[in-house]
Structure 1
Amino acid sequence: MKRKNSKLAWFVLVPAMTVFFLFHTLPLLQGVFYSFTDFKGYGNWEFVGFRNYLNIFSDMRVRGAYVFTLSFSILSTILVNIISILIALGLNSKIKYHKTLRAIYFVPYMLGTLIIGYVFSFIFSRLLPQIGTSLDISWLQFNMLGNPNLAWIGIVVVAVWQSAAFNTILYLSGLVTIDPDLYEAADIDGAKPTTKFFNITLPLIMPFFTINMVVAMKNFLMVFDQIIALTGGGPGTSTESVSLLIYRGGFQGGEFAYQSANAVLFFIIIAVISLFQIRVLERREN
């Protein structure tokens, strides 16, 4: 019986591991290899050592992309977790149709990102200016996506609106694990809602908070679809993320090796940030 189970396990694992290696590990290793060359994506190439990595640190466009991506990710991660916790607390209460509302809040996560981006692009460029004009609201009469100083706001709104659904589901899963007797004891002691949240709710859902913070930060660091649909990285390069820069330079600009080095560096940065978050937040769990 054990031999049959062992054979079945290998029969299932080998194809899965083969596919994973061919479509994930092998491209990763190839990217690392080409990052030490001058490969343009076509033609011949030569080894250049660490030249690509050194050039990244002096490239102002790369620096701007990293500043935008990190700023966007930090702000969006904070906003999406605050909003998700508030929504989860509301949906977890004994309000009418709370199960139906849970399903409704999860809809944005199921929709395609590009579709959502194009819909919001219409809202920001056409609908809101029309509303601003009809109501005589000056700051609402222009397309914020065309303003280099304000275009990032639209991307944050769309990214947070869509991501809040997944985070809310996780927080709801955490709230279900809390014993209601704890809240009853707190009510007997006359505890205020804020006191119950910071002393009961938040400490007991910290594992879920850790997951949401790490996953949200990682996803926002890799932002791509929302920017493509809303601004295309513009105006100029004001909303160009690192992922978009790697794609454009590597596949459209003949900088395959250079952007491969950028991708390797970006991967290391994401890994370091994720490990730092886990280390800090796990201490809070204890």
Structure 2
Amino acid sequence: MATTAARGPADRATGRAAGSAAKGGRLKENQTARTFYWMVLPAVVLFLVFHTIPVLQGVFYSLTDSPGYGDWSFVGLSNYTALFGDPRVMSAYWFTFRFAIIATVLVNALALTIAVWLNGRIKWKNTLRGVYFIPNVLSVLVIGYVFQYLFAGAVPALATALGIDRLSTSILADPQLAWVGIVILAVWQATAFNIIIYIAGLQTVPQELYEAGSLDGASAWRQFTSITFPMIAGFFTINMVLALKNFLQVFDHVLALTNGGPGTSTESVSVLIFKGGFQGGEYGYQLANATIFMIVIIAFAAFQLRVLQRREVSL
């Protein structure tokens, strides 16, 4: 009885201490949660002000005949229905899709090849990585004007000297070939970023796998298809999605090289929206075009992620 009585106050003290500790823990968690929300709030406000609200305003004005200034009237969905019968809009979408798909494939094929090569046992590996990254830090407009000079002057002069009549004039002035010049510029500039992503992925592949493959007599190509590519499938997915998304929004490359010409043969959707919306008095109409284009880009990205992530699982 004495022992039980002696333990009573001690147990009660222990219980009070445990309760205080639990209460202190919950208080600390609440303080942490409040701190987290206060830290996130500025970013949320900035996102709403500079992204969500402008997007919603754009969707609203796409339902009007606004020229970008002055009076406007509500026209409902007539802008959207007119888009599908506009040959200039259809031509811009065709050029954009063709350009984006070709450039995405070329960029990833070239970047993966260079990344695998740079990841091997070669001299000045780090120096070459820095050299290959240079195009990514240069302004697209600046290098675009350099490429314009090359295509308009240097390449025709060299082709004339070699007797290649097809290239004796600027390809940027040829409606059938002008898009090739834009692809070359875009691939040259974008490959750098993809190389860095692939190199980061290659660093995660254990060297023991390659050693085991070599002992089993696997060729370099077999090691790539059975070890390297499956291990960096996630990085491949990231590069493919980002590359296609960026190329669908191609703007600077076209503006620097051809400005959409000759005629409208290289006019991308972004360039058309810019010209028509800000220079042609078609503000409401091109906002409808921009809304459709936003949905298209989201759909492409979602489809890519779904397909490529399934591919990752199968690998």
State TM-score, norm by structure 2: 0.88
Query: How far did residue 39 of structure 1 move?
Result: 1.1
Give, in whole Å, the separation in 2 of the partners of 1:9 and 1:145. 53
Query: How far did residue 5 of structure 1 move?
Result: 4.6
Gaps of 5+ in 1: none
Specify the alignment match of 1:221 in structure 2.
Answer: 248
Q: Could you list the per-position Cα deviations for residues 166-208 of structure 1 after superposition, in whole angstroms to 9, with x for gaps in the alignment? A: 1110110111111111111111111111111111111111000
Which amino acid is 1:80 matched to? V
Query: How far did residue 19 of structure 1 move?
Result: 2.1
**1:266 to 2:261 alignment:** no
Specify the alignment match of 1:147 in structure 2.
Answer: 174
Which amino acid is 1:203 matched to? P
Give, in whole Å, the separation in 1 of the partners of 2:246 and 2:136. 13
1:43 to 63, 66, 70: 70
Query: How far did residue 9 of structure 1 move?
Result: 3.6
**1:54 to 2:81 alignment:** yes
Larger radius of gyration: 2
Instruction: Look up the SS of the partner of 2:267 in the other structure.
Output: coil
Give, in whole Å, the separation in 1 of the partners of 2:271 and 2:130. 32
1:77 to 95, 104, 109: 104
State TM-score, norm by structure 1: 0.97
* Runs of 4+ more than 4 Å apart: 1-8
Number of aligned pairs? 286
Instruction: Look up the SS of the partner of 1:80 in the other structure.
Output: helix
Instruction: Look up the SS of the partner of 1:40 in the other structure.
Output: coil
Query: How far did residue 11 of structure 1 move?
Result: 4.3
Instruction: Look up the SS of the partner of 1:44 in the other structure.
Output: coil
Specify the alignment match of 2:194 in structure 1.
Answer: 167
Gaps of 5+ in 2: 1-27
Query: How far did residue 10 of structure 1 move?
Result: 4.2
Matched-pair identity in %:
52
1:1-286 alignment to 2 at 5 Å? 5-6=32-33, 8-286=35-313
Give, in whole Å, the separation in 2 of the partners of 1:180 and 1:15. 44
Query: How far did residue 148 of structure 1 move?
Result: 0.4
Instruction: Look up the SS of the partner of 1:190 in the other structure.
Output: coil
Q: Could you list the per-position Cα deviations for residues 70-125 of structure 1 after superposition, in whole angstroms to 9, with x for gaps in the alignment? A: 00000000000000000001100010000000011000000001001001001110
Give, in whole Å, the separation in 2 of the partners of 1:13 and 1:204. 35
Q: Could you list the per-position Cα deviations for residues 208-259 of structure 1 after superposition, in whole angstroms to 9, with x for gaps in the alignment? A: 0000000000000000000000000000000000000011111111111111
Give, in whole Å, the separation in 2 of the partners of 1:94 and 1:236. 49
